[in-house]
Amino acid sequence: MSSILSQKLKVALIQITATAVKQDNLQHAKDYILKALKKDPKIDLVALPECFNSPYAVTEFPKYAENIPNGESTKFLSQVAKENNIILIGGSIPELGDDGKIYNTSVTFDRQGKIIGKHRKVHLFDIDIPGGITFKESITLTGGQKATTIDLPEFGTIGEGICYDVRFPELAAVAAREKNAFALVYPGAFNTVTGPLHWHLLARARAVDNQVYVILVSPSRNLNLGYHAYGHSLVVDPNGNIIAEAGEDEEILIAELDPELITKTRAGIPVTVQRRFDIYGDYTKNVKPSAT
């Protein structure tokens, strides 16, 4: 299986913190996108963090939830993408579905501001680590029902998950094996307990599992908030090497994805053509497709 990344892709990861004021959060995201483009006008794709427009708290999700595509955040991001001629992965926002349920949802826009992808977080963050952290998204959120791949004009296909989704290799494999994605993108708000444990490990594991690029986009860390994000947004190459990493504060991270590295990696260690589905089957053949 060969990569379908057709040319080099320059990405910018926007690591910022959300406040309690949605309009301020939207403007803050735009300001940082403009800073990134001023720093490097050749950026093709910009990615925002999980829950970039609202506080990350189960009690707050219903207050900030809005319709997609008619909500203010979606319209705002669409305009930003169009005005700046970029592909934009809009982190995630609390979405009020037509069914009245609330989802943690990411929307992706092309250079004309058109929605080309929508992912509802599949695996909800329900954990209880004694002496560490207890958090249960399922108190107010509903999990998505589809694996998501997104066709990027000019470049190829990416797979998307949100935060806790990265812990499940099956979802990544669907994108990489069934849809031949060249990268997996995860807006994610790991915290200061789970981050040091598994943030880097999971990103590198998903990259090595599938021999693709992996991108994790975190909010910045603000200890004045109730939820302390880990930070450390990063880009991992198909060999599992971290090629770019942010710190804890607000930051713009820029990296370039090179299709030749995917080809070389898969040629040297050809696991993509060595799997023995005659022994253990291939679950990626029975998956609900993504839908915008």
Q: How confident is the model at residue 289 (pLDDT cuts 50, 70, 90)?
A: low
Prior bond of 69 cis (ω within 30°): yes
- Tell whether the model's pLDDT for residue 39 goes beyond 80: yes
Whole-number Å distance between alpha carbons of 31 and 191: 25
Task: Check which CATH number belongs to the domain holding 228 and give it.
Answer: 3.60.110.10
Q: How confident is the model at residue 120 (pLDDT cuts 50, 70, 90)?
A: very high
- Identify whether 118 is part of a domain: yes
Residue 117 to residues 73, 109, 134, 153, 245, Cα–Cα distance (Å): 15, 7, 31, 12, 26
**Mean pLDDT of the 91-112 span:** 98
- Identify whether 44 is part of a domain: yes
List, by residue number, the catalytic residues: 50, 121, 163
Q: How confident is the model at residue 287 (pLDDT cuts 50, 70, 90)?
A: confident
Token pair for residue 1? 């299986």
What residues make up the domain containing 253?
9-266
In this predicted structure, what is the pLDDT of residue 292? Answer: 47
- Identify whether 255 is part of a domain: yes
Q: List pLDDT tens digits, range 158-168.
A: 999 999 999 99
Q: Is the pTM of this model over 0.75?
A: yes
- Identify whether 178 is part of a domain: yes
Q: At what angle do helices 72-84 and 22-39 cross, to 10 degrees?
A: 20
Q: List pLDDT tens digits, range 243-272.
A: 999 999 999 999 999 999 999 999 999 999
What is the overall mean pLDDT for the chain? 95
Phi, psi of 250 (to 5 degrees): -60, 135
Task: Confirm if 31 and 23 have CB atoms less than 8 A apart.
Answer: no
- Identify whether 63 is part of a domain: yes
- Tell whether the model's pLDDT for residue 218 goes beyond 80: yes
Q: List pLDDT tens digits, range 205-217.
A: 999 999 999 999 9
In this predicted structure, what is the pLDDT of residue 286? Answer: 76
- Identify whether 213 is part of a domain: yes
Whole-number Å distance between alpha carbons of 9 and 255: 8
- Identify whether 89 is part of a domain: yes
Q: Domain count of the chain?
A: 1
In this predicted structure, what is the pLDDT of residue 66? Answer: 98
- Identify whether 280 is part of a domain: no
Q: How confident is the model at residue 74 (pLDDT cuts 50, 70, 90)?
A: very high
